[in-house]
Chains A and B, each alone.
Chain A
Amino acid sequence: MSKQINVALIGNPNTGKTSVFNALTGLNQKVGNYPGITVEKKEGICKLPRGVKAHIIDLPGTYSLNASSLDENVVIELLLNKNDKDFPDVAVVVSDVENLKRNLLLFTQIKDLEIPAILVINMADRMRYKGISLDIPHLEEQLNTKIALVSTRKKNGIVELKELISNYKDLSTTPCMNASEIDREYFDNLRKAFPNQLLYKLWLVITQDVNFGKTDRNEIDAVANFKTKTKADLKRLQQKETIKRYQFINNTLKKGQTIDLNTAKDLRIKLDRILTHKVWGYVIFFVILLTIFQAIYDWSSVPMDFIDSSFVSLSEWTKNGLPEGAFTSLLAEGIIPGLGGIVIFIPQIAFLFLFISVLEESGYMSRVVFLMDRGMRRFGLSGKSIVPLISGTACAIPAIMATRNIENWKERLITILVTPFTTCSARLPVYLIIISLVIPEGRFLGLGYQAMTLMLLYLIGFGAALVSAMILNKILKIKSKTFFVVEMPNYKLPLFKNVVLTVIEKTKAFVFGAGKIILAISIILWFLASYGPGDDFNKAEEIISTEYANQNLTEDEVNEHVASYKLEHSFLGITGRAIEPAIRPLGYDWKIGIALVSSFAAREVFVGTLATIYSVGSDDEETIKNRMAGEVNPILGGPLFTFASGISLLLFYAFAMQCMSTLAIVQRETNSWKWPILQLVIMSGFAYLIALIAFQLLK
């Protein structure tokens, strides 16, 4: 049996840790959550020399072992808990060649925990551009470790790193420095009180006062007659420790690293000057956004048409190929159209994530954060709020979790409350199908009207978030101080592998996350649309033949009337009719009403629901778009999806709070039901009002 070892990848943010993880594990990776909390956990398997396998965990980025956020707690908890099944046999600390000094702070802390540690110096290919040279033997000697010079971009150093990991038992566990020197008396007492414990581990347990709710260091007194210090004294000692570490690092790097500024060639400053310019910065950002939305439309139309017609053929094949009966109908009219309603959007979702990933990988996104900070302050938000607001374009759930790095509670709460306004990927299918139905295909200055509408909807979402933030900032009476620090990583060409893996991972999460709900809802909806109570449903054939006895209808026409009558008197039809009076002023019929209600489970269910409802009882094999375009308004006549009803629907989806999972995560993050309930009522009420006004003005 081959041996498996645990390897923890640790490092500062923006050191290319995930690139190293991808290079080591390839596609053998999975993403989950740490138990009980919603911090993302990435793990994978890597084959090492001599048949050894490594279970690699990509831990959240952290600057030190002094945690200030839940993500950072994950790192510390793992490193302090030997009984954790993931406790590392070896820690691989990833650093960036340009920020070695800062990165080594974390490395020295990990070394002091006496965990075998390898130092990876990443982005080594940039050394010659930056005029950096390293004395590796000297650094290895000073830091008591082995160093791997790696360039994930050039694929250099990964084999050597695997070799070092497999020989982890040869690594020294001697600490880099003696932390007890910062206060000998205090540490001596600590050692006497807990003779069997590692001193630096004890120190970390005592000093972590953020988010460690259950850890009460005052209890130490009661347990072991150990006189601990006040909070202020401990803070002072922590500062002393950090200064001491940097003194050690400076001494180490004095000989180990030389930087020749004369040979350094750097475009960074020139690029920053343009990309963060107070006018050109915004213009460039706007042009980039416009290009993205245009590309989403232009590039994805061919694969989308292919997927759409494939699902139609599959549905037809199922209907004709399988024996007639209820289950065959469920497959052909319920499940396949329902799933088709989500799979069709894979190309557009993938392109969106492709662009977001490229912007993040290139280092441009941090410039956007910086650029936006000035503006965000006016709305009561922090520059850090831009991260949740931008990542909200993928999904509000991780975006709301990303607010955890906003230290100021008021700013964090406002960000949590307004993030669901940002256009998430679940809204995209709804927008795309409605836009394609009600907005003409023409172009203006080379830009399609449809692409511009889509971009406008994204801006509306973003604008709604900012305006509501401003209002909340005035209403909420919470006083707190705020500061903003953001790291500007170097510009770099995005790594193809990283971009592809991100696109696959995010698209998979979207399809499988929503796919399961859509599958279940399709089955339930098909059942509710195919069965009904009383004689109206069960004797539909008799009623229709009596009603149309005098008209010479063909068999197909009779079947169509029967199907329509049955649908109206099915469980679904009865429910739809009950809510119809409330949505009729918005220009919707009861079928859209059902789709609206079911999309409170998840917005993307809307298209699948309509696809299922329109398929039930229909003999025509049509694409989703054609079915929707063919729907007739029962009251006004003419197409149901007109410009007025389409805009009304788009606006409803732009503002309504229609995601149970988001409400659950808001409850969890704010630890109160008050905020998610307020969000649901206010956002959905506002959406209803705006949709009503839009339809009444445009009809």
Chain B
Amino acid sequence: MNEIIQTILVFIALGLAVSFMIKKFSWKKPKTKKAFSDAHDCDKCH
């Protein structure tokens, strides 16, 4: 395997690893789930 290809593969792996870690630990605040969904058939009640 060509050395350039190996280097490219290394950088692809690095890019994937870094993006995975960023995605994993950049927490988004979880959306508060409504007790009933918007399409609930008891909508009239509340």
Q: Which residues of A line the B interface, CB within 8 A? A: 35-37, 73, 77, 80-84, 194, 197, 201-202, 205-206, 208, 211-217, 219-220, 223-224, 322-323, 325-328, 330, 516-517, 519-521, 523-524, 527, 601, 660, 664, 668
Contact = CB atoms under 8 A, between A and B. Distances in A.
Given A82-B41, A194-B44, A601 B32 contact: no
Nearest to B39: A83
A220 B45 contact: yes
B14 A36 contact: no
Interface of B: 1, 3, 5-7, 9-10, 13-14, 16-18, 20-21, 24-25, 27, 30-37, 39-42, 44-46
Given A35-B33, A325-B3, A523 B13 contact: yes
B44 A601 contact: no
B44 A519 contact: no
A251 B32 CA distance: 43
A212 B34 CA distance: 8
B35 A208 contact: yes
B13 A36 contact: no
A527 B10 CA distance: 8
Nearest to B10: A326
A36 B7 contact: no
Given A523-B14, A601-B21, A323 B41 contact: no
B33 to A, nearest CB: 4
A205 B45 contact: yes
Given A323-B1, A327-B1, A36 B32 contact: yes
Given A328-B6, A524-B18, A660-B25, 12 more contacts: A36-B30, A77-B36, A201-B42, A211-B35, A215-B46, A217-B45, A223-B44, A326-B6, A520-B17, A520-B21, A520-B24, A601-B25
A677 to B, nearest CB: 14
Contact of B20 (A325, A330, A516, A668): A516
A84 B13 CA distance: 40
A248 B36 CA distance: 30
Contacts of A516: 20, 24
Contacts of B7: 325-327
A83 B18 contact: no
Q: Which 8 A-B pairs have the closest CB atoms?
A: A325-B6, A36-B33, A523-B17, A327-B6, A520-B17, A212-B35, A327-B9, A323-B1
A607 to B, nearest CB: 18
A206 B39 CA distance: 18
Contact of B37 (A81, A519, A521): A81
Contacts of A35: 33
A388 to B, nearest CB: 20
B1 A325 contact: yes
A80 B14 contact: no
A68 to B, nearest CB: 14
A215 B36 contact: yes
A325 B8 CA distance: 11
Contacts, number: 113
Given A212-B35, A326-B10, A205 B46 contact: yes
Nearest to B34: A214
A240 B6 CA distance: 74
Contacts of A212: 35
Nearest to A67: B35
Contacts of A660: 25
A272 B39 CA distance: 50
Contacts of B5: 327
A80 B39 CA distance: 12
A84 B36 CA distance: 10
A521 B39 CA distance: 43
Contacts of B10: 326-327, 330, 527
A77 B5 CA distance: 53
A37 B35 CA distance: 11
Given A36-B30, A205-B42, A219-B46, A81 B36 contact: yes
Contacts of B14: 523-524, 527
Contacts of B3: 325-326
Question: Which of B10, B24, B33, B40 has most chain A Cβ within 10 Å?
Answer: B10
Contacts of A325: 1, 3, 6-7
B35 to A, nearest CB: 4
Nearest to B1: A323
A325 B37 CA distance: 55
A521 B22 CA distance: 11
Contact of A213 (B1, B31, B32, B40): B32
A37 B42 CA distance: 22
Contacts of B36: 77, 80-81, 205, 214-215
Contacts of A224: 44
Given A214-B35, A664-B27, A80 B42 contact: yes
Nearest to A216: B46
Contact of A202 (B6, B9, B31, B45): B45
B46 A83 contact: no
Contact of A83 (B6, B41, B44): B41
A73 B32 contact: no
| Residue from the set B17, B24, B30 with the largest chain A CB neighbour count within 10 Å | B17
Q: Which of the listed residues A194, A211, A524 has the most CB atoms from chain B within 10 Å of its own CB?
A: A524
Contact of A519 (B6, B17, B33): B17
B35 A213 contact: yes
Nearest to B43: A223
Contacts of A214: 32, 34-36, 46
Contacts of B46: 205, 214-217, 219-220, 223
15 contacts: A36-B30, A37-B30, A77-B36, A80-B42, A81-B40, A194-B45, A208-B35, A213-B35, A214-B34, A214-B35, A215-B35, A325-B3, A330-B9, A521-B17, A524-B14
Contacts of B1: 322-323, 325, 327-328
A112 to B, nearest CB: 15
Contact of A517 (B16, B18, B24): B24
Given A83-B41, A216-B46, A220-B46, A73 B18 contact: no
